[in-house]
């Protein structure tokens, strides 16, 4: 839809205000797509809540009152929504109307909630070392999906990547010789992360399978540059990665609610437990905490790699059993694909 200009006035419909705020997040704040979608989902839920409560079906911004927000929060509570989810939705409303107030779309922010719902403050789930080692056992079958899924879990744990960073990886993002990957985080920020020898070994085996797959596909219908692809050669979607990670971890007895984010938290917990400085771990994770950004040049990549090598459980040479399994999987001679030869060695 065509958005009215900033300061369009109180008669502007709520939908137009929501769209302008989401555009602000995406274009000016450079938030990740999943963040923008999350804000949009919460804001549109509020809009649906208002339709039977405001006479004008256009839902003019001027008609939104503090009591509507209070009723919305009460409904969330009656439905038994988790406190953390309630707090997220209220924060989304507050941020949206704060922006629209600043832009002159509304006279005052109607989101007047004395306190946000108390959150449960549960610590993030962490997978223990034994379960993680079991999940990262090389696949026994030589199917493409087995190699791909194993490589994905290895890279998630080896590099501490966010879900969006993993699905955005390209072939050119990975340096197998240096055992690193260049990832693009929130707001387009890039960083180089160590992957470890075990993850690189898994990637080498997967890339051979990927090359064989691509030979039989129409080159015009595939995402040639994408690192992780499906059997049609297209870049994997976020939901696909979430499902396959849950399946892999569920197979070794880890809870079904585990996600790529759980693997990322596990990476951090295992590194700190092994003696790594939390500030250095934050730098490796690309987090914006005080320890991560106070002195950008104080922790160069070489030092971070040293921290990683000393603390990450899978930083070094793969264990003998893993090395033997991966070596046997790499033994087959597969046809080369133009542009992929450097990745097959």
pLDDT at position 143 is: 87
pLDDT in tens, 67-96: 999 999 999 989 988 888 898 999 999 999
Q: Do 14-102 and 129-344 show the same overall fold?
A: no
Q: What does DSSP say about strands 190-194 and 180-184: parallel, antiparallel, or unpaired?
A: antiparallel
pLDDT at position 335 is: 32
Residues pairing with 183 in the sheet: 191
Closest C-alpha among 343, 344, 321, 322 to residue 333:
344
- Rounded to whole angstroms, the Cα distance separating 78 from 146 reads 44
> Taking CA 176 as the corner, what is the angle to CA 265 and CA 312, rounded to the nearest 5 degrees?
30
Euclidean distance between the first and the last CA atom of the chain, given in angstroms as a whole number: 49
pLDDT at position 84 is: 84
Helix segments in 163-277, DSSP class H: 163-167, 197-215, 238-250, 260-273
User: Which residues have CB under 8 Å from 235's CB, separation 6+?
Assistant: 167, 223, 226, 228, 229
Closest C-alpha among 196, 166, 169 to residue 180:
196
Give CA separation, 53 vs 45, 50, 67, in Å.
14, 5, 11
pLDDT at position 219 is: 86
- In words, the CATH class of domain 129-344 is mainly alpha
- Rounded to whole angstroms, the Cα distance separating 203 from 320 reads 17
Angle between helices 83-102 and 14-23 (to 10 degrees): 90
CATH 1.10.150 is right for the domain spanning 14-102:
yes
* Residue segments in the chain with a per-residue pLDDT below the cut of 70: 1-11, 114-123, 141, 255-256, 288-301, 317-345
pLDDT at position 8 is: 52
| Domain-wise residue ranges, the chain | 14-102, 129-344
- Rounded to whole angstroms, the Cα distance separating 80 from 86 reads 10
pLDDT at position 112 is: 85
Closest C-alpha among 38, 32, 310 to residue 162:
32
């Amino acid at each position: 839809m065509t958005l009215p200009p900033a300061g369009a006035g109180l008669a502007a419909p709520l939908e137009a205000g929501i769209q302008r705020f989401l555009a602000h997040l995406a274009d000016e704040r450079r938030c990740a797509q999943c963040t923008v979608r999350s804000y949009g989902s919460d804001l549109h839920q509020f809009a649906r809540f208002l339709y039977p409560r405001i006479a004008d079906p256009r839902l003019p911004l001027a008609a939104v009152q503090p009591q509507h927000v209070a009723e919305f929060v009460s409904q969330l509570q009656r439905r038994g929504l988790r406190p953390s989810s309630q707090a997220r939705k209220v924060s989304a409303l507050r941020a949206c109307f704060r922006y629209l107030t600043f832009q002159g779309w509304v006279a005052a922010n109607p989101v007047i909630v004395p306190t946000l719902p108390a959150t449960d403050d549960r610590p993030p789930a962490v997978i223990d070392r034994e379960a993680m080692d079991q999940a990262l056992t090389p696949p026994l079958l030589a199917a493409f999906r087995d190699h791909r899924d194993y490589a994905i879990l290895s890279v998630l744990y080896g590099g501490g990547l966010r879900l969006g960073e993993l699905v955005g990886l390209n072939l050119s993002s990975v340096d197998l010789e240096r055992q690193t990957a260049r990832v693009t985080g929130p707001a387009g920020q890039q960083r180089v992360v160590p992957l470890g020898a075990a993850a690189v070994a898994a990637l080498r085996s997967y890339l051979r399978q990927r090359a064989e797959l691509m030979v039989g596909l129409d080159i015009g219908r595939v995402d040639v540059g994408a690192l992780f692809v499906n059997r049609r050669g297209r870049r994997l979607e976020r939901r696909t990665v979430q499902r396959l990670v849950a399946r892999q971890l569920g197979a070794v007895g880890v809870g079904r609610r585990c996600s790529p984010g759980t693997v990322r938290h596990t990476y951090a917990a295992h590194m700190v437990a092994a003696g790594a400085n939390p500030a250095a771990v934050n730098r490796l994770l690309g987090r914006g905490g005080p320890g991560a950004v106070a002195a950008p040049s104080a922790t160069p990549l070489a030092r971070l790699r040293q921290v990683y090598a000393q603390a990450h459980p899978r930083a070094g040479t793969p264990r003998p059993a893993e090395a033997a399994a991966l070596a046997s999987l790499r033994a087959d001679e597969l046809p080369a694909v133009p542009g992929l030869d450097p990745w097959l060695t």
